[in-house]
Amino acid sequence: MDGVEVDLGSLSCADVRPILQGETKQEQEERILRAVEFLVQGLFTLPEQSSERKSQRELPEPFSVIPRAKPIPKEKPLTKWEQFARIRGIRKRKRDKFAWDETRGEFRPIHGYRSINDESDQVILPHDPSLQPGESPFDRVKEGKRNRVKNNRKSQERNKRSIAKDQLSSRPVRTDKYKSKDLEKSAKIASISTRSLGKYGDRNKPRQKLSSIKASHKKNIIPSGAERERTFQAVNDVLKNF
């Protein structure tokens, strides 16, 4: 329509006529208003599906192609459990988040912090015959939790690694392309690093900064005043012997 592209599907209108050199702000605003008018007109041409209470029209399919801002996300490889569940045909069940805790008399979350199975705030624990003499059941509870957390983290790491392995297998990694300068730099960094990332170690010993190696070379350029003196001195020394 007259230099105005209206895409009802995406509710957009665009004035595609070229922008002239001496166009004022008012003229530009007029163009925008005109384009919007066309959009609204177009909307009212759509087939009505109104009822008494509401006015409704169905928008057609949009035809303008809007490019993606980011690339299409890659499909994440399945974790070990997801693979297993898929094979076995295990489907996710919708579960509740909270459950009634009779003993405490309140709703508690099923998993995680303050969960219904959380025994860390127990004051009295029932006696377990498998306990060794001297072993505290409270310590056992704590240890159990620690182990669970640790195992959970391990599985996460394992999953990450196996995912990374799958992704890398399609592209060969060129480890032979290290430049000697990169290796030198790595060696320098290694020579001043500590295992604890600087947390422990000889605090009194001043740590050698990587930049100090470079700084010593910069000092070799002396200021021009002193340098000129030196040059004159050398010339005079030589001319003395002439």
Partner 1 sequence: MRNLTEEELRAVFEKLAKFIGKDIKALVEEPNEGYCFRLQKDRVYYVREVVSAAATHIARHNLASLGLCVGKFTHGGRFQVHITFITYLARFAKYKVWLKSQSEMSFLYGNNVLKGGVARLTENTPKNQQVVVLNQNEIPLGFGVTARSSLELQQASSTDLIVLNQADIGSYLRDEDHFVGCGL
Residues that bind partner 1 in the complex, under the rule CB under 8 A: 181, 217, 220-222, 224, 227-228, 230-235, 237-239, 242
Distant-in-sequence, close-in-space partners of 101: CB < 8 Å, separation ≥ 6: 107, 108, 116
Closest CB to partner 1 among 145 and 185?
Answer: 185
Residue 185 Cβ, how far from partner 1 at the closest point, in Å? 13
Closest CB to partner 1 among 58 and 237?
Answer: 237
Closest CB to partner 1 among 204 and 241?
Answer: 241
**Residue 10 in contact with residue 64, Cβ under 8 Å?**
yes
Residue 219 Cβ, how far from partner 1 at the closest point, in Å? 9
Closest CB to partner 1 among 32 and 234?
Answer: 234
Helix (H, G, I), strand (E, B) or coil at 5: strand
Dig out the tokens for 241 from the structure: 């012997």
Closest CB to partner 1 among 215 and 238?
Answer: 238
The DSSP code for 108 is E
Closest CB to partner 1 among 20 and 222?
Answer: 222
Residue 67 Cβ, how far from partner 1 at the closest point, in Å? 40
**Run of H or E including 116:** none
Residue 236 Cβ, how far from partner 1 at the closest point, in Å? 9
Interatomic CA distance for residues 11 and 58, integer angstroms: 12
Interatomic CA distance for residues 49 and 72, integer angstroms: 36
Residue 238 Cβ, how far from partner 1 at the closest point, in Å? 4
Interatomic CA distance for residues 208 and 31, integer angstroms: 66
Residue 240 Cβ, how far from partner 1 at the closest point, in Å? 11
Question: Exposure pattern of 185-203 as b/e (b: 16+ CB <10 Å)?
Answer: eeeeeeeeeeeeeeeeeee
Interatomic CA distance for residues 82 and 91, integer angstroms: 10
